[in-house]
Amino acid sequence: AGVNVGDFIDAKTPAKAGALTAADVPEVIRALRSCEPPGCFLLLLMLLFGTRIGETRLAKWPQFDLEARTWTIPTDNTKSKRQHRLPLTPMAVTLLTRYRAYQQANGYRGVYLFPGASKGKPLSRSAVFDLVVSASGARWHSHDLRKLARTTWADLGVEYLAGELLLNHALSKLDRTYIHTYAERQILDALERWHTWLCERGFSVFLTETEPRLSFYHNSDQPQWWQGVAG
């Protein structure tokens, strides 16, 4: 008998459409470029992986293994209360490496990718909300980045099950470990397709731009984090 996708997924009420469509991606990229770190990279990471606010703003550097190319989100940070492991594409590794080097070059040695106003604390949820409103002009919200990713994955031919695993949605009736083993390659393939698609629509500016602009610390003589740090 064939495999029924419904056997794997808990029934849910159909989700409302997001405020963003594929046609809005250039606008989103312009919005990201208008932000300063850590806000820019936080929204960028949410767009790249379709992660939630909590999963992203609480991210710590030890969760990232750049050699093994994985991001492991601990159970305490996920809505499902299940550990969530995401593969990192080469593009994601490059951006993470540049962002970390930028932080270190500016004297930051903390564990959080997105430090907040209080020492040793991450950006607060309200701070993330404020930066999204500022970047988007209140036209879209952080969750719309996740919805945009999910919708586009489907348009790119990503298997439904792989998309659900990427979003860490609840599964049922079969052991998740078996499913993850089966779908590991499909998940990486989905992200590679998605990241390539984004680059074709302007995201490549974060990989290729060389013109210095406003920096993290408002010093116009310094390049943005994605331009790399001179050795």
Beta pairing class for 64-65 and 84-87? unpaired
CB 99 within 8 A of CB 189: no
Dist. CA 104–CA 139, nearest whole Å: 34
For tokens 């990486």, the residue is 188
Amino acid type, 66: L
CB 135 within 8 A of CB 43: yes
Q: Provide the residue-wise pLDDT of the chain in tens; the chain has 231 residues.
A: 444 444 444 444 445 667 899 999 999 999 898 888 888 999 999 999 999 999 999 999 999 999 999 999 999 999 888 899 999 999 999 999 999 999 999 999 999 999 999 989 999 999 999 989 999 999 999 999 999 999 999 999 998 888 988 998 877 655 466 565 667 888 999 999 999 999 999 999 898 754 333 333 333 344 565 665 444
Using only the alpha carbons of the chain, give its radius of gyration: 18
User: CA 201: distance to chain centroid?
Assistant: 17
Q: What are the extents of the domains in the chain?
A: 19-227
H, E, C per residue of the chain: CCCCHHHCECCCCCCCCCCCCHHHHHHHHHHHHHCCCCHHHHHHHHHHHCCCHHHHHCCEHHHEECCCCEEEECHHHCCCCCCEEEECCHHHHHHHHHHHHHHHHCCCCCCECCECCCCCCECCHHHHHHHHHHHHCCCCCHHHHHHHHHHHHHHCCCCHHHHHHHCCCCECCCCHHHHHHHHHHHHHHHHHHHHHHHHHHHHCHHHHCCCCCCCCCCCCCCCCHHHCCCC
CB 214 within 8 A of CB 36: yes
Bridge partners, 70 (sequence order): 65, 87
Amino acid type, 117: A
Dist. CA 23–CA 152, nearest whole Å: 11
Dist. CA 188–CA 162, nearest whole Å: 9
CB 164 within 8 A of CB 9: yes
pLDDT, tens digit (0-9, with 9 covering 90-100), for 76-117: 999 888 899 999 999 999 999 999 999 999 999 999 999 999
Sequence-distant (≥ 6) Cβ neighbours of residue 90 within 8 angstroms: 69
Cβ atoms within 10 Å of 6's Cβ, excluding its own: 11
Q: What is the architecture, at CATH level 2, of domain 19-227? A: Orthogonal Bundle (1.10)
pLDDT, tens digit (0-9, with 9 covering 90-100), for 177-202: 656 566 788 899 999 999 999 999 99
